[in-house]
Amino acid sequence: MGNYVNGDFVEDGKKTKLVSPADGSEVATVVLGSKKSAIEAIDAADSAFHKTWVKTSIGERQKLLAKLAALVQDKSYEYARMESANTGKTIRQSTLMDIPLGISHIEYFSSTQEFKFSREISHPEYPDTTGIVQNAPMGVVGAIAPWNVPFLMAVWKIAPAILAGNTIVLKPSHHTPVTALMLARDIKEAGFPPGVINIVAGTGTEVGNTICTDDRVSMISFTGSTQTGKKIMGMAAENLKKVTLELGGKSPNIVLPDADLEHAAKGILFGIFLNSGQLCESGSRLLVHRSVKDRLLKSMEKHLQGMKAGNPLDMETEISAITTPDQLRKITDLVDDGSAQGATVVFQRNLGHQVPDNGLFFPPTILDNVTEAMTVAREEIFGPVLTVTEFTHTDEAVRIANSSKYGLASGLWTRDMKAAKEIGSQIEAGTVWINDYHLLSAAAPRGGFKKSGIGRELGLEGILEYTQTRHLFLNEHESDFDRVAYGLIISDE
């Protein structure tokens, strides 16, 4: 699979074989682009923006997006199969969630009527004038995506950026570029003009840094770790680029004593063990009222024992692999560190010989007696590990939830909807699910507080991130105010 630059697939770069973390089988041979590839993509995007794309209407852009959604829908099973093979997530998740969700999000951007290029305003100080506020495109957008949800990330970066009138250079992770490069084939078939969308797989050093430092790139959209986000922000600052950053998370799930415990148990498990916890907003901290903690943990353990282990490429399997060897080592080290600091492993699923020998797996794990000072309570594990901390008062739960340096998401479980709204509004997070978790709407903005990021994706807010504001001040004729104002420096003879 080659990179997609200026409407063509190119094989300028190092050919690399990718193997599946699910079972070690070969997935694809991809070309990892170089600095030269990135520059050529930026050249193409810059030319396409000024020559063609900026002149298109919102309606024309949406027609192309609608066609893209239809093309992807026709190949949805192939996308799901390759997404799972490349990442190690279950084919069940890819087939029933990730790919359908991505398609529906393309459809949202192809049909939303919320985004308006301009709006009229009045100037209360100058009643004889009017104003037009325009949401103008940024120009060339550089987008850098992570390895955990490559198809969704490609959709979330591309669709709103081009709807807003930008062109784009997307760098998918060099670990999991397959479905982004597949998407390029359908982008070409859909009829997007050459150079509008460019996709270059490669490392951060070669491709990512080039995108961040090229002066023709007006904006960087990055999803990944907080540490890398800081570096990208520093590079962008050199050329005063706009940045949006969706970064790490340490999201809490708060269970109040009146919660439906069976519903909460399932939602909490879904919140942390979907994709084996390799999601930025995974609900990795369970904050549970002391009076219901034992009952909740017992219910969760029952469901965990029933989760089906096996090859993630089998439809019945419910436990995903860990996508990279480095991530597997990180998870292992953090759990060992938590145990050394006093956390108790109250549950760890025995995978035995149920999973492929050549796969990368970490057993679903629950750590109890976790205090706020422990590393596992503060640092993002990004794996299938749930920490448990009990509380006695709701104010205490809110304080613990907000004690994290992160603020991406949170869950809250209670039957009292009035209290839920009041408590939810105190949580320092970009998304607060109430009696639910992980459900994403294309119409709802997504992003983080504190060190979880800057800016938003999805929804109207996500589209507006890819714009800059222009104000047209309209005056049809000289007014009394003009004569007074001009008279400050020009006297009529």
- Known catalytic residues are 246, 280
Locate 42 and state its tokens. 């930026």
User: What is the bridge-based pairing of β-strands 467-474 and 130-137?
Assistant: antiparallel
Beta strands, E only, 145-231:
167-171, 197-199, 217-223
Instruction: State the Cα torsion 57-63-68-74 to the nearest 10°.
Output: 180
Q: Dmax of the chain from CA atoms?
A: 98
Identify how many contiguous H helices and E strands the chain contains and give both numbers: 17, 22
What is the rounded CA–CA span in Å between residue 135 and residue 462? 13
* Surface-to-core class of residue 407, CB atoms within 10 Å of its CB (0-12 exposed, 13-18 middle, 19+ buried): buried
Question: What residues have CB less than 8 Å from 306, skipping those under 6 apart?
Answer: none
The 3-state DSSP class for residue 318 equals coil
Say if CB 350 and CB 306 are below 8 A apart. Answer: no
Q: How far apart are the first and last CA of the chain?
A: 75
User: What is the bridge-based pairing of β-strands 140-144 and 217-223?
Assistant: parallel
Q: Which is nearest to 30 in space by CA: 163, 199, 157, 154? A: 199
What is the rounded CA–CA span in Å between residue 320 and residue 312? 6
Say if CB 170 and CB 196 are below 8 A apart. Answer: no
**What is the enclosing helix (H) or strand (E) of 162?**
helix 150-163
3-class SS shares of the chain: helix, strand, coil, % to 5: 40, 20, 35
What is the rounded CA–CA span in Å between residue 327 and residue 309? 20
Locate 81 and state its tokens. 């199969």
Q: Which is nearest to 260 in space by CA: 392, 409, 436? A: 436
